[in-house]
Structure 1
């Protein structure tokens, strides 16, 4: 199930981030307080994927009024290649569209071959 990320999801999302090898967490940006601020500023735009009450995927999604941004896009390694990233991306794109945001900036690690291949399917280069 893909749904809007809530503040109460923080612990599960943070655990997911920590479980992913090479995931870039910054204590100042990714603190509970700062993620809550981000969600307050961008309500109902970020997504989580939940299986058996466990968060297995997440996208932080927001915008500045003109351009949307995806941050910390991830799916737990045990749940990849099942369409979860696609469903979360679709959720976030539709949420941005409802806010009249039609342009998205995406930053991905060069070494993330799996992720970069995924984004190419959406036209990101």
Structure 2
């Protein structure tokens, strides 16, 4: 497996993975233009894992607002799960955040995504049930 920074050239394969990942929520914010803008704004923070056959095995979008980090679309192809790829992607993202002086990272998991919840709690992330998420379209 090869881990590297995610680039705009990874978009088609990444979107295909996200579309086929149960529990993954996609929206207009996941269009090519929006993802490219995210990658440009957060250079060096998002990562992919490439399988030995050259296919995309996993993704992790990572960014920060100068104070807190955020992870999005951490996904591993079903045939590559259980090999530590998700953990490897997350570790790389957190290392890059720390290098930029970001000490805390958040993520969102859709309430019905039991696999996602199990993964995150299994690698030591804390469920913050005292925080409510509010959204507003601009």
The TM-score range, normalised by the shorter chain, is over 0.9
RMSD of aligned alpha carbons: 1.1
Q: Secondary structure at the match of 1:38?
A: helix
What 5-or-longer segments of structure 2 have no aligned partner? 128-138
Superposed counterparts of 1:26-105, under 5 Å:
26=27, 28-51=28-51, 52-105=53-106
Offset of residue 95 of structure 1: 0.7
Task: Tell me the matched-pair count.
Answer: 124
Distance in structure 1 (CA, Å) of the matches to 2:126 and 2:4? 24
1:7 aligns to 2:12 (yes or no): no
Offset of residue 89 of structure 1: 0.5
Task: Please give the TM-score of this superposition, normalised by the length of structure 2.
Answer: 0.85
Distance in structure 1 (CA, Å) of the matches to 2:43 and 2:14? 16
Distance in structure 1 (CA, Å) of the matches to 2:98 and 2:19? 30
Distance in structure 2 (CA, Å) of the matches to 1:100 and 1:36? 23
**Higher Rg of the two aligned structures:** 2
Q: Secondary structure at the match of 2:89?
A: helix
CA deviation map 1:28-73 (0-9, x unaligned)? 2011111000000000100111102111211110000000000111
Q: Secondary structure at the match of 2:30?
A: coil
1:21 aligns to 2:22 (yes or no): yes
Distance in structure 1 (CA, Å) of the matches to 2:91 and 2:110? 21
CA deviation map 1:62-111 (0-9, x unaligned)? 00000000011111111111100010011000010111101111101122
Distance in structure 2 (CA, Å) of the matches to 1:34 and 1:123? 27
